[in-house]
Amino acid sequence: MGNIKDRLFIELLFGIAISMLIVFITIYMPLLGFFMAIILPMPILYFRLKLGRNIGATIMFVVLAMSFAATNMLSGSTDPELSSSLIKSSSFTPSIDMLFYGALLLIGFFLGEFIEMRLSIEKSFIYTLFSTVGVCSALFFLYALSTDQGALDLVSKYVSDNLKLTLALYEDMGMSPESIEAIVASMEAIEYLLTRIIPALVITLLSFILWVNILFIKKILTKKGISLIELESLNLWRAPDYLVWVVIFLGILMMIFGKDIKMIAFNCIMIIMPVYFFQGIAIISFIFEKKRLPTLFQIAIYSIIAIQQVLILAIIGLGFFDTWLNFRKIGVINGSDGQSSDG
């Protein structure tokens, strides 16, 4: 019994250590940190599935508490050796920024919960996303009520501060004065747009992170000899056919109504677009598997897609038009033997 408790305690400490390492990389190494933040849910998800709800929840709450304490301590420090430029910038507000870390940790925990319930991949995804967004939204509005500012004013100030930080980074990088002046001239319009599409941006980002973690956990479980039917054949996944008509309807609303309706429709389209990105990636994965392409080649292609915005749009288009073109021939019946060609 003692050995089992010791092993669980070691696993607990390991999960906390890995999660905190990822958190500190996101703070001190912004470029690498963005990619590391994507996998922050993974330790919570892995240990939730491996060791159960109590261990997973303990790791999540301890990491969140330690991250909050560390960022508040560093944000108040006057020692440049102890404070990263991100924390020392006026844009870093621990109470708000910690919601982002909290959302990532919640994704890992909730996804583990719904996977263990043996729900379909669609239900696990949707329930995890809405549970995470719901909890974080409630916490944000409670935080807004505790301040003298309204929720919209709070978001607007946060966006404004981050835009100022971005502008300062551009100046440090040696961007030409003409370009800086052009950005400054457009700052008000950019702030107006970002403030109003930030809900869609947050949901889109969390959707992407959630899907990446689903793919990662599948690979990890497969290597450990664990197979979940709910995670099988992800490269055959496709969105419901009716969703394409929702996108078309929203596009029509953007063309014929005023700016308020346009903004709502645009937010809805942004939330839906990751669905077609995932479908496009599933098509690419299906082709890679069918052609048995080398793993290094696949990694290279996925890396190029991740850093090229044009290719991301192309992948979204691939998923969108798959509704009509059915690139993987899913459900197509072979007339000669009556069997599906899905194989």
* C-beta atoms surrounding 45 within 10 Å: 27
Residue 58 token pair: 């303990």
> In terms of domains, do 67 and 205 share one?
yes
- Helices and strands per DSSP (H, E), number in the chain: 13, 0
Q: What's the CA gap between 158 and 149, in Å, rounded?
A: 12
Q: Considering 229, 258, 290, which residue would you say is the last residue of a domain?
A: 229
Question: Virtual CA dihedral for 268, 273, 278, 281, nearest 10 degrees?
Answer: 180
Residue 30 is predicted with a pLDDT of 66
Token pair 């050796």 is found at 81
What does the block give as tokens for 293? 């392409």
Same domain? 277 vs 310? yes
In this structure, the answer to whether residues 93 and 161 fall within a common structural domain is yes
Same domain, 262 and 209: no
Residues 331 and 312 in one domain: yes
Whether 84 and 221 share a structural domain: yes
The reported pLDDT for the residue numbered 68 is 80
Kindly tell me the sign of the dihedral angle through the C-alpha atoms of 133, 138, 141, 146: negative
Which residues make Cβ contacts (< 8 Å) with residue 293, sequence separation at least 6?
Answer: none
Question: How far apart are the C-alpha atoms of 172 and 115, rounded to whole Å?
Answer: 45
Q: DSSP secondary-structure letter at 235?
A: G
Contact call for residues 276 and 319 (beta carbons, < 8 A): yes
Domain co-membership, 268 together with 298: yes
Domain enclosing residue 254, as ranges: 233-343
Print pLDDT tens along the chain (343 aa): 567 777 888 888 998 999 999 888 887 776 677 778 888 999 999 999 888 889 999 999 999 888 887 766 655 544 444 444 444 443 444 567 788 889 999 999 999 999 888 888 888 999 999 999 999 999 888 888 887 777 788 888 888 887 887 787 777 777 777 778 888 888 888 888 888 888 898 899 899 889 888 888 877 777 776 667 777 778 888 888 999 999 999 999 998 888 888 889 999 999 999 999 999 989 998 998 888 888 788 878 877 877 777 888 899 999 999 989 888 887 764 444 444 334 3
Same domain, 92 and 205: yes
- Do 19 and 153 share a domain, yes or no? yes
Tokens of 94: 């621990």
Contact 244, 320 (CB under 8 A): yes
CA distances (Å), origin 214, targets 126, 160, 167: 12, 34, 35
CA separation for the pair 66, 58 (Å, rounded):
12
Please say which residue of 191, 213, 229 terminates a domain.
229
Residue found under tokens 């890396």: 303
Q: List the one residue out of 113, 130, 122 whose CA is nearest residue 234.
A: 122
Query: Which pLDDT value is given to residue 59?
Result: 93
Neighbours of 107 (CB within 10 A): 25
Do the beta carbons of residue 14 and residue 63 sit within 8 Å? no
In three-state secondary structure terms, 332 is coil
Tell me how far apart the 2 most distant CA atoms of the chain are, in Å.
76
Q: Would you give the DSSP letter of residue 65?
A: H
What is the distance between the alpha carbons of residues 299 and 295, in angstroms, rounded to a whole number?
Answer: 6
Question: For residue 163, which amino acid is it?
Answer: L
Whole-number Å distance between alpha carbons of 242 and 247: 9
Q: Which residue has the tokens 């107006």?
A: 192
* Residues 243 and 167 occupy one common structural domain: no
Residue type, position 245, single letter: W
Count of domains forming the chain: 2
Is the same domain home to 145 and 37?
yes
Of 199, 229, 259, which residue is a domain's last?
229
Closest C-alpha to 194, from 228, 241, 238, 160: 160
Same domain, 58 and 182: yes
